[in-house]
Structure 1
């Protein structure tokens, strides 16, 4: 894909690339700190890299046709790895993101009506109300240092609370954020035994994760109980995601979710919905602060727009391209790892049962054979008449297991970025480069201070 540009695009900072001959134990040590920093130059140039992990072969796939095979054509042959399950099950339980087989089919069919474009459109007023409040608070903090990462986390958490439960998160938001921060700081980091042992063999970290899960599920169950206490008028249309999920029924069996299942589904939607969107918005604001000219283009597009409906959101073509380019450079899920259930052929290579397939959007989105100027911030590449290959750009995954909440997340991200940049000029006050690191999602290594001024 060739990109024409009148000015030199910015290239945001990244971690140094690992030596291609890094030892196994050296790589394991780096994984604990930053998975992104374990990949060497070969991973950004070659289509398939084959290696070994303990008793099994491993493959890094950067070839769209091979990725299509694993995520779409033969997706049933590939399941989550033990490490992936260990990282996610304590916070997501057996919700949609981790379910397999018939359980996944039931959940996907049952939840799908809650995430249609029409259902998302009905939730936009919740988003705009929170954005109005956020902008009003920011107006009192112009020309002083502000931590926009924290503000984005609070804002998206508030949106998640209102779209899920129709009530604000003033009371419970700090507790929920503490859960997220606690897990990411310690329990969400992969250790050697997490990757080496079967899921049925508990590791020392698994015991700590189990204690965390007990406290976490009790908290989510309490939120559900509070929402149910408010009730819903008989015959009234659903007013939030909880109504839609609580009333959802499998179109084939007529079954709905048990209370235990509903806890896992709500936890999945709140966490996946607020943390990934907050991180994407932080990176977008960081990039626009580095690139004032692009920031002004976003502001120009939003000028005069009301931005309070899906139709308004859909008109923000350039802002959408900025969001898309942000998620190319900083994909929320930087790695998708799968274990083969049975033998297969992928990109001409023999795959055996238990072999590990790694599809890393971080690598794929910066691959030198797939993108022109892969490390540069060029939003207009997503306004080209030649869109990227569907399996070369995976911010929300692909295939049957593509993220069910993608339309919601995209609408929220575009709306929030358009409203914020339309209201404020954003500048960096912190000169230190912000380095991405991978722990569950693509996080910044620190929260820089920004200055905002009213337009």
Structure 2
């Protein structure tokens, strides 16, 4: 059977003129990149009054986002203005002293050393979700994108907030963020034509309303945690509230606390939900990969959910997630503003220029990856081709601003996929067309309708030929 090439937007044959580029970017940030850019190491041009440079090789990525990170510290105005109504000056878009102080508070929350503790919430959430799927009739239709968002929202709430998220609250978070992402302006044209960043950008009523709905849920969670002085449960958010900022000897105020809670909640549920939704879609289109996944989870897992100790025993499940992250990185574009004149890869970068790390291009670069557009989990298996460079695979960004929850997110995705795939397979709704769309994050469209099939094959029968099916 031929290897599966999943969908990607039609690539322009040549660079688009500025106005056409902006129109297309408003609809889908992935659709603006010409075929030739998947082979370049660095490129760019002036867009109105601002230079835009894309670093597109391990060397130029390392030079700007790692070695020279201090000279490109400031987040792009596009990202700041798109996310500020939702996360204020939260860690993802803050700069300078605010960013350095906040990171010291937030980073320990999902540190890799806490994975055994955090995995308990992952397993519990995956097990509860599996029970809800088992209760559905054969052939029931679900929206896998929204379904995975509900799953990961519940997990992030249980692990980070130390609270269970009610059905209504979960629905509020998931639906409000979906509305926010759909409506928010991805291209800050005002900054491109030279309007100072400190001048406020207009945000529509529906955008502000969606942000308020999310803030209401978060405020309720925060208040319940901080008011319950005798709570016996572990809350990482409570730990954050007790951590002092810098040399001030004071904790974060309520607004700062909510901003960082919003960052943790959005980053913790949205990116993993998208990755899981993409994984289900890819498996539904690649029967051989799905068969090997089933063989692995049947051999490793019992009837209950996957646990922390199972993670190391699920290399193919992990390879599927890692390949999914390569093809569909959750936040494919990371942009910085140059703080001073630079030279990168032989190209001049002026102060104020935008420098972009585009994982969508880098992960499909024709000089770095074998069959770059093809779904090949085996490249991440022992003995596979692997990652050509640590600076060529950046699903969680890289350098000082690398995602603090990268290990948590990967573990969550693997254990959830394995737990659910042990008992259920999903099939794409007939005639449904999937197209990757990127606004704040990379999604398989607005919905992903899939049909549930309950697996009835005996574990013993599958386990007998595990040695033949696993590489």
Q: Which residue of 2 aligns with 1:44?
A: 38
Secondary structure in 1 matching 2:86: helix
Query: After TM superposition, which residue ranges in structure 1, 4 or more long, deviate above 6 angstroms?
Result: none
Q: CA deviation at 1:93?
A: 1.3
- Cα gap change, 1:328 to 1:232, in 2 (>3 Å): farther
Q: CA deviation at 1:318?
A: 0.9
**Which moved further from structure 2: 136-145 or 328-337?**
136-145
Q: Which residue of 1 aligns with 2:70?
A: 76
Q: Which residue of 2 aligns with 1:397?
A: 397
Q: Distance in 1 between matches of 2:192 and 2:439?
A: 15
8 Å CA contact 2:280–2:426 kept in 1: the answer is yes
8 Å CA contact 1:62–1:363 kept in 2: the answer is yes
Q: CA deviation at 1:432?
A: 3.1
**Which moved further from structure 2: 143-152 or 330-339?**
143-152
Matched, 1:19 2:17: no
Q: Deviations over 1:316-353 (max 9, x none)?
A: 11111100000110000111111111011100111110
**Which moved further from structure 2: 70-79 or 187-196?**
187-196
- Which of residues 170, 175, 179 in structure 2 aligns to 1:178? 175
Q: CA deviation at 1:21?
A: 3.6
Q: Which residue of 2 aligns with 1:29?
A: 23
Q: Which residue of 2 aligns with 1:67?
A: 61
- Which of residues 132, 140, 149 in structure 2 aligns to 1:137? 132
8 Å CA contact 1:30–1:37 kept in 2: the answer is yes
Q: Which residue of 2 aligns with 1:3?
A: none
Q: Which residue of 2 aligns with 1:343?
A: 341
Q: Which residue of 2 aligns with 1:8?
A: 2
Matched, 1:203 2:198: no
Q: CA deviation at 1:428?
A: 1.9
Q: Which residue of 1 aligns with 2:273?
A: 278
8 Å CA contact 2:177–2:214 kept in 1: the answer is no
Q: CA deviation at 1:410?
A: 0.7
Superposition pairs for residues 76-225 of structure 1, below 5 Å? 76-78=70-72, 79-141=74-136, 142-165=138-161, 166-190=163-187, 192-193=189-190, 195-196=192-193, 197-205=195-203, 213=211, 216-225=214-223
Q: Distance in 2 between matches of 1:313 and 1:107?
A: 30
8 Å CA contact 2:177–2:210 kept in 1: the answer is no
8 Å CA contact 2:319–2:380 kept in 1: the answer is yes
Secondary structure in 1 matching 2:203: helix
Q: Distance in 2 between matches of 1:135 and 1:294?
A: 21
Q: Which residue of 2 aligns with 1:428?
A: 428
Secondary structure in 2 matching 1:426: strand
Aligned residue pairs: how many? 446
Q: Distance in 1 between matches of 2:166 and 2:205?
A: 30
Q: Deviations over 1:368-390 (max 9, x none)?
A: 11111000000111122643311
Q: Distance in 1 between matches of 2:132 and 2:306?
A: 19
Q: Distance in 2 between matches of 1:218 and 1:429?
A: 35
Q: Distance in 2 between matches of 1:448 and 1:178?
A: 14
Secondary structure in 2 matching 1:374: coil
Q: Distance in 2 between matches of 1:11 and 1:57?
A: 34
8 Å CA contact 1:90–1:212 kept in 2: the answer is no
The answer for unaligned runs of 5 or more in structure 1 is 1-6
Q: Deviations over 1:48-95 (max 9, x none)?
A: 112111223221111111111111111111121111110111112111
Q: Deviations over 1:10-33 (max 9, x none)?
A: 001111012314211010110111
Root-mean-square deviation (CA), in Å?
Answer: 2.1
User: Normalized against structure 2, the TM-score is what?
Assistant: 0.89
- Which of residues 234, 246, 256 in structure 2 aligns to 1:239? 234
8 Å CA contact 1:335–1:361 kept in 2: the answer is yes
Q: CA deviation at 1:446?
A: 4.3
- Cα gap change, 1:219 to 1:56, in 2 (>3 Å): same
- Cα gap change, 1:239 to 1:388, in 2 (>3 Å): farther
Q: Which residue of 2 aligns with 1:441?
A: 441
Matched, 1:324 2:319: no
Q: Distance in 1 between matches of 2:106 and 2:77?
A: 26
- Which of residues 273, 298, 316 in structure 1 aligns to 2:293? 298
- Cα gap change, 1:386 to 1:178, in 2 (>3 Å): closer
Q: CA deviation at 1:258?
A: 2.2
- Cα gap change, 1:81 to 1:358, in 2 (>3 Å): same
Q: Which residue of 1 aligns with 2:464?
A: none
Q: CA deviation at 1:157?
A: 1.1
Q: Distance in 1 between matches of 2:147 and 2:213?
A: 26
Q: Distance in 2 between matches of 1:218 and 1:454?
A: 38
Secondary structure in 2 matching 1:204: coil
**Which moved further from structure 2: 348-357 or 390-399?**
348-357
User: Normalized against structure 1, the TM-score is what?
Assistant: 0.92
